[in-house]
Amino acid sequence: MTPSTRRTTYETDVDVLIDLHGTGQVEVSTGVELLDDMLRMLAASGRFDIRIRARGDATGDHHLVEDVGITLGSCLSEVKSGTGSAIVPYGDCTALAAVSFGAPGFKASLKLSSESIGGMALENLEHFLRSMAYNGSFTLHVIADGGDDREKIISAMKALGAALRNAIRDGGVGDKNL
């Protein structure tokens, strides 16, 4: 399954292609260092091949981060059922992600303390996750505890990738190698 979606607005132009049966190969260019890193971790942990090309205007990272979440979620909306979860430690942090396809919902407990990292306002992290879940028509719960902000983000994105992989396999969208 290789869904792709393009979203063009006044503020952004986003093109996403994802192969849910990939090996974790990533080609990402958003112009936002942290967002690129998050997408790489998600794809590697979920073993998705992903190509995302995105650009935003000068209004800041909010619209770009949101629209990448919307577009990635739209690709994932082709998955109709499945439930999965994962617990991933990284450094002094442990994160849990749980995914259930079929009904949109979102809850997060990340408790980030910095304003921004790698060119991205951290208030946009939950916005990205919520946009992805609602546009992907899946429920997503993410909890990260311990460590610093970077460890929380890394742990959460790796847990999300693994939870998505498990949910896709559970829903019968994958092959036996997923």
Provide the residue ranges of all domains of the chain, joining segments of one domain with +.
4-170
What stretches of 14-148 show up as alpha helix (H) in DSSP? 33-46, 62-76, 123-136
Is the pLDDT score of 55 beyond 60? yes
pLDDT exceeds cutoff 90 at 90: yes
More confident site: 51 or 171? 51
Q: What is the pLDDT of residue 57?
A: 82
Tens digits of residue pLDDT in 117-159: 999 999 999 999 999 999 999 999 999 999 999 999 999 999 9
Q: Left if phi > 0, otherwise alpha if psi is -120 to 50, otherwise beta: which for 129?
A: alpha
Identify the three-state secondary structure at position 52.
strand
- What share of the chain in percent tops pLDDT 90? 80
Region 50-62: what's the mean pLDDT? Answer: 88
What does the alpha-carbon distance between residue 5 and residue 13 come to, in Å, rounded to a whole number? Answer: 11
Provide mean pLDDT across the span 79-84. Answer: 94
State the average pLDDT for the chain. Answer: 92
pTM: 0.92
Fold adopted by 4-170? Ribosomal Protein S5; domain 2 (3.30.230)
| pLDDT over 70 at 175, yes or no | no
Whether residue 11 is predicted with pLDDT greater than 90 in this model: the reply is no
In the predicted structure, residue 13 carries a pLDDT above the cut 50: yes
